[in-house]
């Protein structure tokens, strides 16, 4: 990837040098102690994605104000990015400038996966209006890993991410360096997203506040079930193909889609070797026949092309799976659709709820190609697959203050609204059941319930859950026997071996986590990372008290 200095991104507009007063009152420390200082402006731009008219997008334009410009790279020609690199222990200062075109588009950047104080984590109540600035300054305390950032204003997150706002925050440390992984040009971030285009090459987003103003069934399905596009983009590009050498790559996958889940596999059946998850490297590489990656999650692969020949082509597929939504209603039909399938096919199938969920050109669980690897160069491989990648200091169940009595989080739908323990998001609202003590370890159990009597999805749907501010361990998964079939179609692809900040719950599944609240008292959110669910209120606060 080319190194770039100065302003990165679409249209080369300089961020305004004079920042508006920061109403959240973050520290006004001078910059003598920061290692990297960036201005990040969320703004509108145009980009050529399809032949003909350019596509209007929203993008983060970066300008390096201090530090090594090589640590902030654009994804060339993409609305996504930038890719920010920092090492553990560094201090980073970011001036976020909201330059979005619509007055209503308040915004704020959330650093997904990083362990930060409340004001830096950016609770939705800190969102600023267009024309305003929000300043972040923090020390990177996390271990090496693939973290990311995206907007987080209440009820507007899904559309802002959809319009293009998301980037990567890659942390490195000594433990990672010791693992001797592919680096530089052999360390490739891959952000997976899906989009819909109108005949003028513009993104179509049909949920509330959408650009197209499409009424009716499709719109309701998008808002309640989650937005699904029918075109797959990798790093903001259609028909993505990776020219590769005959050697090993580190592929850092991020599912940056609003609601789509991917079941990733190589088309020739080669198993996948995972080396990292949300919170960095695993202890040892693990093999999977396929990898399941839900919105918000990251998986890092050790992808070895050294046995390939120049001219070989390999496709990364998303395989068919079922039961993620509308379980029991017309599940088999997903397989019949292709990437270019006409919108609206299958509307009549699967009954009321199943049919609505599946009225998409590319339903959840349908198979499709994600990207192509083309082997174009012979190179001598010198790296060996490490047997030990890192040491995870273990969390132990016996250290949890509530080891016999997990804190319960029931996920359900009531009157067509997704809820957590019967509640939806309230800006400052937090219950006793959502209040934890600093420096304690707890067991949390999330239960994806069925919703008898709910017309939209009586068996429930898949929810990728995310908790701000912490990395946790997954210690148990169970599923209701009657919903085991859908679960079985994705579960071998779970990579639960390392630190996680986001995890998938299939319908009928319950998951136990071990988490510890360190360093920062305050108010943080946890939510479904199906972004339409999040915006619809499937988000709550938790408070860490001293
Ligand atoms: Cu990536 Cu609160 O989200
Ligand atoms: Cu987060
Ligand atoms: Cu959800």
**Residue 381, pLDDT score:** 84
Catalogue the E-assigned strands of 19-54: 36-47
Establish how many alpha carbons lie within 13 A of residue 472's alpha carbon, considering only the half-sphere containing its beta carbon. 28
DSSP assignment of 325-380, as one string? SSTTSSGGGGGG--TTPPTTTTTTSSHHHHHHHT-SSS-TT--EEEEEEEEEE---
- Ligand 1 centre and the CA of 469: distance in Å? 10
Give the ligand at the shortest distance from the Cα of 295. 1
* pLDDT confidence band for 450 (50 / 70 / 90): very high
Query: Which CATH number is 189-377 given?
Result: 2.60.40.420
Which residues sit with their C-beta closer than 6 Å to ligand 1?
110, 112, 150, 152, 296, 466, 468, 525, 527, 529
Q: What is the pLDDT of residues 202-240, one digit of tens each?
A: 999 964 444 444 445 677 888 899 999 999 999 999 999
Which atom of ligand 1 is found nearest the CA of 527?
Answer: 2
- The reply to whether 397-545 shares the fold of 31-173 is yes
Name the residue at shortest CA distance from atom 1 of ligand 1.
112
Average pLDDT over residues 523-544: 98
Q: Where are the domains of the chain?
A: 31-173, 189-377, 397-545
- Ligand 3 centre and the CA of 327: distance in Å? 15
Give the ligand at the shortest distance from the Cα of 151. 1
Closest of 182, 268, 228 to residue 461, by C-alpha: 228
Question: b/e for 94-104, b at 16 or more Cβ within 10 A?
Answer: bbbbbbbeeee
* pLDDT confidence band for 467 (50 / 70 / 90): very high
Give the ligand at the shortest distance from the Cα of 528. 3
- Ligand 1 centre and the CA of 509: distance in Å? 21
Which atom of ligand 1 is found nearest the CA of 534?
Answer: 2
Give the ligand at the shortest distance from the Cα of 525. 1
- Ligand 2 centre and the CA of 303: distance in Å? 27
pTM flag (> 0.85): yes
Q: What is the pLDDT of residues 345-403, one digit of tens each?
A: 333 223 334 444 445 789 999 999 999 999 999 999 889 999 999 999 889 999 999 99
Which atom of ligand 1 is found nearest the CA of 525?
Answer: 2
Average pLDDT, the chain: 89
Decide if domain 397-545 falls under CATH 2.60.40.420.
yes
Q: Which helix (H) or strand (E) holds 162?
A: helix 157-162
- Measured distance CA(461)–CA(528) in Å, rounded: 11
- Ligand 3 centre and the CA of 464: distance in Å? 6
CATH class, 31-173 region: mainly beta
- Ligand 1 centre and the CA of 122: distance in Å? 10
C-beta neighbour count of 379 within 10 angstroms: 14
- Measured distance CA(76)–CA(175) in Å, rounded: 29
């Amino acid at each position: 990837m080319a190194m770039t200095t100065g302003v990165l991104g679409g249209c080369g507009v300089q961020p305004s040098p004079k920042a508006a007063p920061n109403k959240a009152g973050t520290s006004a420390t001078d910059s003598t102690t920061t290692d990297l200082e960036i201005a990040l402006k969320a703004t509108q731009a145009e980009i050529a994605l399809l032949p003909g008219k350019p596509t209007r997008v929203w993008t983060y334009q970066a300008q390096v104000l201090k530090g090594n410009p090589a640590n902030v790279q654009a994804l060339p020609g993409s609305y996504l990015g930038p890719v920010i690199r920092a090492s553990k222990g560094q201090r980073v200062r970011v001036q976020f400038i909201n330059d979005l075109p619509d007055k209503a588009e308040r915004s704020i950047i959330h650093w997904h996966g990083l362990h930060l104080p409340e004001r830096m984590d950016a609770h939705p109540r800190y969102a600023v209006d267009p024309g305003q600035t929000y300043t972040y300054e923090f020390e990177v305390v996390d271990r090496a890993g693939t973290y990311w950032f995206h907007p987080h204003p209440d009820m507007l997150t899904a559309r802002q991410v959809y319009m293009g706002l998301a980037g990567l925050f890659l942390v490195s440390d000594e433990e990672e360096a010791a693992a001797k992984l592919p680096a530089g040009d052999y360390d490739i971030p891959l952000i997976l997203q899906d989009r819909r285009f109108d005949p003028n090459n513009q993104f179509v987003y049909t949920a509330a506040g959408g650009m197209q103003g499409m009424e009716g069934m499709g719109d309701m399905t998008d808002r309640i079930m989650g937005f699904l596009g029918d075109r797959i983009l990798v790093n903001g590009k259609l028909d993505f193909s990776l020219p590769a050498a005959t050697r090993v790559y580190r592929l850092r996958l991020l599912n940056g889609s609003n609601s789509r889940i991917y079941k990733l596999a190589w088309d020739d059946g080669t198993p996948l070797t995972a080396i990292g998850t949300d919170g960095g490297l695993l202890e040892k590489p693990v093999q999977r026949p396929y990898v399941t990656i839900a919105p918000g999650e990251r998986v890092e692969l050790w992808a070895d092309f050294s046995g390939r020949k120049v001219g070989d082509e390999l496709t990364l597929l998303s395989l068919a799976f079922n039961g993620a939504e509308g379980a029991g209603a017309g599940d088999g039909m997903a397989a019949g659709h292709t990437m270019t399938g006409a919108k609206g096919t299958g509307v009549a199938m699967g009954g009321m709820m199943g049919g609505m969920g599946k009225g998409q050109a590319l339903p959840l669980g349908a198979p499709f190609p994600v990207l192509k690897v083309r082997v174009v160069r012979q190179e001598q491989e010198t790296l060996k697959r490490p047997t030990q990648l890192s040491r995870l200091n273990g969390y132990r169940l016996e250290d949890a203050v509530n080891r016999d009595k997990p804190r319960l989080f029931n996920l359900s739908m009531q009157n067509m609204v997704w809820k957590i323990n019967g509640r939806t998001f309230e800006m400052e609202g937090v219950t006793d059941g959502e209040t934890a003590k600093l420096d304690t370890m707890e067991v949390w159990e999330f239960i994806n319930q069925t919703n008898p009597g709910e017309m939209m999805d009586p068996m429930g749907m898949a929810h990728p859950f995310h908790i701000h501010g912490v990395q946790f361990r997954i210690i148990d998964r169970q599923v209701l026997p009657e919903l085991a079939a859908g679960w079985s179609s994705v579960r071998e692809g779970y990579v639960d071996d390392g630190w996680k900040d986001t995890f998938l719950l299939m319908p009928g599944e319950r998951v136990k986590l071990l988490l510890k609240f360190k360093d920062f008292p305050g108010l943080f959110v946890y939510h479904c990372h199906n972004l339409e669910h999040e915006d619809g209120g499937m988000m709550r606060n938790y408070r860490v008290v001293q």
